[in-house]
Amino acid sequence: MVHGGPAIVLAIDKRATVTAESRTDKKIWLRSKTIRAYGYFLSGKFHTEGEEKEAQKRLKPIYAVARNLMDLSGKDLGVNIEIESSIPAAAGLGSSAAVAVATAAALNHLWQAGLSRDDIFQVAFDAEKIVHGTPSGIDPAISTYGGVIQYTKGEKIKPLNIEVDLPLVIGDTMKERSTGEMVAQVNDLRRRYPSVIDNIIKAGGEIVARSVEALEAGDLDVLGVMMNMNHALLCAIGVSNEPLEKLVFAARRAGALGAKLTGAGGGGCMVALATAEKLKDIAEAIERDGGQAFITSKTMEGVRIEE
């Protein structure tokens, strides 16, 4: 959690792909089919056709990654960066972080910068601050390392050895939200009611500890209960909304073991844990209540290079 508590995060089988090639001029060309934005930076100034302000806002973090890699590798040239992603944008699934991680890895490989995975994580984390202000670092961490991790901001990432399958259904409200705005909203609530919010964060930490035990024991029933409790705490701090609640309760009615919002809330996605037999029923229930659903599961692989 951004606000100091621990969180469990897992990688799912959706990927962002970045293709990079050097240019002979100094232009940093960026094109994203997913968010329909393109243009180039030259001497720090952005150039595009169409809606310049929105395109610059969306592409600036990737430009920051490119500039950082240039400095680290000692390069002084241009680059073409092509972005494709199967991860819904602004939906609480770490889309921007996955793109930042993939960009850092692609440029590290292209320019032989010698960055470790830890370095790639840090470069992507720095870029995320441009998007979200004070992000937790969860999203670039899981995009870099994959698998299942326990994460607390400012502490060492703890990989979890989880053998049990985690059949999941993601439900997308298709309502974009701003992580930075949601974080600011909770910060304000914490400023006004510190003892109340701090106790909610503490309770969230207890839920994480019990969830780790359930994961390691392969006890999906207990994990589902913990997810439901965690969602209730997130409602208490004001980050859920009606579209998310509709999908969460649709999933539970259809037989989910647990269901909660994911990401910063305020829109975006929810996630439901299920038995394999119930996955289709839950996905259909989510879609009947106005969401877009897909079935997924954990993946152990993080960022990789494809030749």
Give catalytic residue positions. 139
Strands 258-261 and 292-296, by their bridges, are unpaired
What backbone torsions phi and psi does residue 297 show, to the nearest 5 degrees? Answer: -160, 175
Strands 28-32 and 78-85, by their bridges, are parallel
The DSSP call for residue 88 is: P
Asked if residues 209 and 222 have their Cβ atoms less than 8 Å apart, the reply is no
34: helix, coil or strand? Answer: coil
Nearest CA among 68, 278, 48 for reference residue 169: 278
Nearest CA among 284, 239, 286 for reference residue 261: 239
